[in-house]
Structure 1
Amino acid sequence: DVPSRSLRSYLISSDVHDDDEKTRCASANLKKAQMLAEVANTTLKCANTGDLAERAARQASELDAQTTPKKPLHGVPVSIKESFAVTGQRSPLGLRELNEPTAPVALEDAAIFTLLRAAGAVPFARTSVPPLLNSTETNNPITGRCLNP
């Protein structure tokens, strides 16, 4: 069952009442987003955390340890489409052939991924896309039909 609350309301709900304190809790926000994505994905078939989970956890810990001024998207968990390259991962573009172990992996991150991280965002999942991005709805042979909440 997908939670009826929005991701935003889920992320900002906590026992912390100080807004500044919430922005410093990148690790807590990341854990909430990852948990919600896992629950939602069982029904919606839309996200893949893969190796990004470990990378996101490291980045969130680094953000929590920062004493310098906060960045505009400090600690905000974000997902990115599989069409954008992530170092060491495949970008299957909704095609089974590009998801095979022999398919090439990205040698560097896409510019948008780098810019989001530089602004303090924490990419934690990649969301599925239609084959070759050639449709307005996502239904591919890897994940099946993506159902939006």
Structure 2
Amino acid sequence: MPRLSPEQVIAKMASNERADMATMKIGNVADRISGLLALAECNALIVYSPLLASQIPPSTAGHAFNTFQRAMHGFEIVQLCAVRDKADHSLAYNSIPTVHALIDHDDVVAMLVENVRQNWPDLPAGDPRRDQRRRYVSPVREEEATKALNA
């Protein structure tokens, strides 16, 4: 029996199941992109800057450092490609095309928009709930950013 295409697998899923999976996957994609940004900054020093290379004497360590540079650069390229990897029948990839395939339906988009609206209510400027929410959300976001940087 032939394998189902990603579109066929997704078509069998309920809208809420698609929205939940897309939400989980986009979180993973965002984490991967955050890691890629950190890796790109490291590679800027390791691969493209003489700052680190000038500290390695021309010897066996020099060859090891060159191998290390190529490995770091190659890993960054592989991770960039993984973010753009096509959706497959298992929907296992955490990639932008997989998320797009999951949300490419009006019902799913409407469900996700409603979910965002519930989390970010449109409160008037003078409403005390608005300040209360801001006092909660800002520290939570700072804590998440700190965890991501220290991971």
More helix by share: 2
Report the TM-score, using the length of structure 2 for normalisation.
Answer: 0.24
The structure whose RCO (Cα within 8 Å, separation 6+) is larger is 2
Report the TM-score, using the length of structure 1 for normalisation.
Answer: 0.24
**Higher Cα radius of gyration:** 2
More strand by share: 1
